Amino acid sequence: MGILEHKFSGDNVIITSLDKVINWARSNSEWYFQFGLACCAIEMMATAAARHDLERFGAMPRSSPRQADVMLVTGTVTLKMATRIQRLYQQMADPKYVISMGSCANSGGPYWQHGYHVLKGVDQIVPVDIYIPGCPPRPEALIEGLMRLQVKIREESSLARKAS
């Protein structure tokens, strides 16, 4: 994919329809890398379990970062864990996305002011695509976030040259 990425002009009908197909595949097969760090992980498990069933969207848990598409950072990102998150994010294969779930991952949450040990938002170390507010968010909110990510991926253009 690397040699073809962003090499074509965007107004070509073939390129745009190819982009559509690629985005369809990517948005419908979001294998998530489970990064359960705190109580939000319980909600992530609940979302994957029978009542809400994240697999309806084609999302499958993978435990190896190499095979995952989206990293679900669910929970309090301590400073010690932050380096690991960064490293595992770097180990993921492109295209990769990050969903930050819950107040702690979004901005430090309850620890944003006085937490000496908590990273103030996971977006300080990895680029975050979707923020899901909540403490912890309900499973519906996580599904909503996943659908937002699908919308975002469908708007992408991986073949067309970037506008810069």
Residue 107 region by backbone torsions, left for phi larger than 0, else alpha for psi between -120 and 50, else beta: alpha
Pairing mode, strands 61-62 and 70-74 = unpaired
Q: What are phi and psi of 12, to 5 degrees?
A: -80, 135
Q: Rule CB under 8 A: say whether 42 interacts with another protein.
A: no
Task: Out of 32, 72, 109, 119, point to the residue binding another protein (CB under 8 A).
Answer: 109
Task: Out of 58, 78, 82, 157, point to the residue binding another protein (CB under 8 A).
Answer: 58
Number of chain positions touching another protein (CB under 8 A):
61
In whole angstroms, what is the distance from residue 145 CA to residue 57 CA?
A: 12
Nearest to 37 by CA among 74, 65, 9, 84: 74
Q: Rule CB under 8 A: say whether 17 interacts with another protein.
A: no
For another protein, the binding residues (CB under 8 A) are: 1-2, 21-22, 24-26, 28-29, 49-53, 55-58, 60, 62-64, 66-67, 69, 91, 93-95, 103, 106-110, 112-113, 121, 123, 128-131, 133-141, 143-145, 147-148, 151-152, 155, 158
